[in-house]
Amino acid sequence: MSRPSSTGPSANKPCSKPPPPPTPHAPSPAAPPAAATISAAGPGSSAVPAAAAVISGPGGGGAGPVSPQHHELTSLFECPVCFDYVLPPILQCQAGHLVCNQCRQKLSCCPTCRGALTPSIRNLAMEKVASAVLFPCKYATTGCSLTLHHTEKPEHEDVCEYRPYSCPCPGASCKWQGSLEAVMAHLMHAHKSITTLQGEDIVFLATDIDLPGAVDWVMMQSCFGYHFMLVLEKQEKYEGHQQFFAIVLLIGTRKQAENFAYRLELNGNRRRLTWEATPRSIHDGVASAIMNSDCLVFDTAIAHLFADNGNLGINVTISTCCP
């Protein structure tokens, strides 16, 4: 084998090529303000109290500055325990105080008046107001300026670019969260056993692929001035049937990932199996890609066709692509 393997760093391809500049993605001035769409999707305006309807009107929300009255209104929805918003279904105590549904489940009495929380009393008027107000994204403090209808908040917050990054290591054992800039330092400090290879064309060698149960093999590849995480995961997708999932992640944003392509190749015994795709941002993680088989997927029989003494070499090639 002429290619470098994970037992030694590759030196034949220096990684001096700079990454291409990110595609300019200026927000289109023609795009309607978020508020317009949101108020249209809300409940019939006849059911909305007048004060709230004004606030959700054009110019009242979206990414623009939030008026003081609007802030006053959203602050009425603050949960007194966790300071997150109390969103529909809105339940109140016997005296009319609100608490969010997550906190309510852990409480035996009202945090404001100590009164009974049961039986549940719904506050339909506040629910109607909530439907007419745009709430700031949960990550407003880290830079997100979006305000959203409460029904759109969770979906946006899952993909919000200001959401903190989680540790990209597969498996749920590490609970670290932080900024993108801090991810590499975390990996080097807390996951010292992960090897790094330099170069755009390397061999990811997974040893002992017959280890029982769910197993992850992880290594890092550095090229084009970026760090990529290579993951091979063995899972039992259904009873008695084991599958392998191989994928490349970029330690970077989704937009940065679009500048690259990766190829995974199993090669040998007069056979070849190839998968090519855009690397996934670590912001998105591996779990959903594996669940949707959006990666190189093969079963134990195929793994054995390519393995050598229980060790499987996956050729990994990363390239830049012109967007």
Binding residues for Zn ion, rule: CB under 5 A, are 79, 81-82, 93, 95, 97, 100, 103, 110, 112-113, 115, 137, 139, 144, 146, 160, 167, 169, 174, 176, 190
> Which residue number, 100 or 296, has a Cβ lying nearer to Zn ion?
100
Q: How far is the CB of 160 from Zn ion (least distance, A)?
A: 3
Which C-beta is closer to Zn ion: that of 203 or that of 218? 218
Q: How far is the CB of 150 from Zn ion (least distance, A)?
A: 14
Residues 6+ apart with CB under 8 A from 204: 6, 217, 219, 221, 230, 232, 246, 313, 314, 315, 316
Beta carbon nearer to Zn ion, 185 or 190: 190
CB of 220 to Zn ion, least distance (A): 13
Minimum distance of Zn ion from residue 308's CB (angstroms): 31
Read off φ and ψ for residue 22, nearest 5 degrees: -65, 145
Name residue 221's beta-bridge partners.
197, 228
For Zn ion, the closer CB: 20 or 33: 33
Task: For Zn ion, give the closer residue by CB, 192 or 270.
Answer: 192
> Which is closer to Zn ion, CB of 87 or CB of 129?
87
What's the full length of the chain, in residues? 323
Instruction: Name which of 55 and 148 has its Cβ closer to Zn ion.
Output: 148
CA 304 to chain centre: 33
* DSSP output for 155-213: HHHHH-TTSPEEP-SSSS----EE-GGGHHHHHHHH-TT--EEESSEEEEEE--TT-SS
Distances (CA, A) of 36 to 41, 148, 191: 9, 11, 47
Please state the closest distance from residue 63 (CB atom) to Zn ion, in A: 10
Residue 204 CB, shortest distance to Zn ion, in Å, is: 20
Task: Let me know: does 313 contact 205? Beta carbons within 8 Å.
Answer: yes
Cα-based distances in Å from 136 to 70, 84, 124, 152, 279: 11, 11, 22, 11, 31
292 DSSP assignment: T
Residue 286 CB, nearest approach to Zn ion (Å): 13
Residue 172, both tokens: 């749920």
